[in-house]
Structure 1
Amino acid sequence: MGDEEETFEGGVISVFDRYLKRRAPFRFANWEELPPVDADFDAIAATVVRKIPDPLPKGHTRYGQRMQEIAREFAGRSGLLMLNALLIMNLRKSGWPERAPVLFNRLWTEKRDFLLAELNGRWLISSLITFGDHGATEADRRVGRSLGLLFSVMKLYEAERLFSGRAGTEPFRKADRVVAPLPMEMEPFSLMSGDLEAHLLAPLLSEAGDAPVAGPLAERLLDMLNRDPQNLFRRLKLMREQTAAKD
């Protein structure tokens, strides 16, 4: 059993206040509005993102400031990349323009290959998480939610790992292992014979195969995870190899 102190004072439900504050819908000035639902994506793809200079137009909103930040990040690149980012920004809120989900699904249906080739891991993950709430099919929403949870938890524990003093590519040593119980009386993971990785990743691959629009995006991200040298799964692999070599 745990002690009487709570990590989240007032119970886990207290995190809802923080969650809701960040989900307040954007307000728009006229120049900040999204393109129409039948927007010509080829024409947008041909445009080049330009930085939005200071000062911003009179009457700009917080959304206009975020547009300026996104334009700075994608300056010199295709307008479709900025559009994808702006749609994600809107769809993460508790309210959004009615055309935003339609545009987002249209964009990933019609221009998926282009987006997969041009977006980095951060924006690919953000796109997949957005499918969790706004995918056009239940299969798209399911894979978006599942992989969104995986990558969110990864971000937490990899960020904590930065305080360990070890690089993300450096596996822990067996000699440094502390024998201690896991939280909530969970059984320890067996480094050499545990199959938790398979039980975690195999269902995600299956879900990706069923999702008509988000599926290829999910498969790309799982492939990127497999090839990335600085994550938990790669470190566990190295630890197994080191252990086997000593036996």
Structure 2
Amino acid sequence: MVQTQTLRAEAWKAIKEEKRPVVYTLDEPEKDDRNNLSLSQGNLANDKARVDLMQNRGKRLEAALTKQLDEKLLKQEPLNNRLIVDAIGVITSSWKEHYAKPCPEDLVKLMSDVGDLVGLFERQLRYESVCTDASRDLKIFADDNAEYCERKAKEARTVAVAYPQLVKRNEEMIVNHPVTIDSLSQKVTELENRRDNAKINIEATKMQKEAEASAPPSVRPKSFEETILPIPSMLANNFL
């Protein structure tokens, strides 16, 4: 703010030095009242026009200088609040040391206002510290989120590549499903037939054993040993 006021004061000084009062020289007029009146009116009109021109040029020049100053300030790095607080502390300490007690009321009020300004900057510093920490945390979260999104995108691309194959496999299963069902039905039927035949054979064997057990001895069939005829003793001796 102080720098801006200083630059504007320098600009106005340049304007004043550039636009000095114009001194007009006139020839000695004839002693004529009407001629004197017309000349005086002409000089007043010219002076008014020149003053208006100077004012307009001054406004334009001030606007141009202000624009240049704003552009220059915008290109500069912003002041650090910590540096401002330290500088104000040095200045106020110098005031307290060099001004005799009691201090003037204006100085006391100024120091009070400056103290409020320092408090404002200190609160801003705390806010900046909190914002810095939050920004760091958000950056970490954003990096983690970006990694998570990239992983999900990779999985989605993998699924997108495998999806047509899955659809084709499902279509083949749907087409081959009746054939598979028929084949399974035939196998089930064969197994059921084998089971029924086994049951029949088991029942027949059981009935045959029961019939043999209930039949009289004379009807029972002889075993293989009983059907072999006895060898006569004479023949046996010859063989021996």
With the shorter chain as reference, the TM-score category is: under 0.3
Of Structure 1 and Structure 2, which has the larger fraction of its residues in helix?
2
Give the greater-gyration-radius structure (CA): 2
Give TM-score scaled by structure 1 length: 0.21
Give TM-score scaled by structure 2 length: 0.22
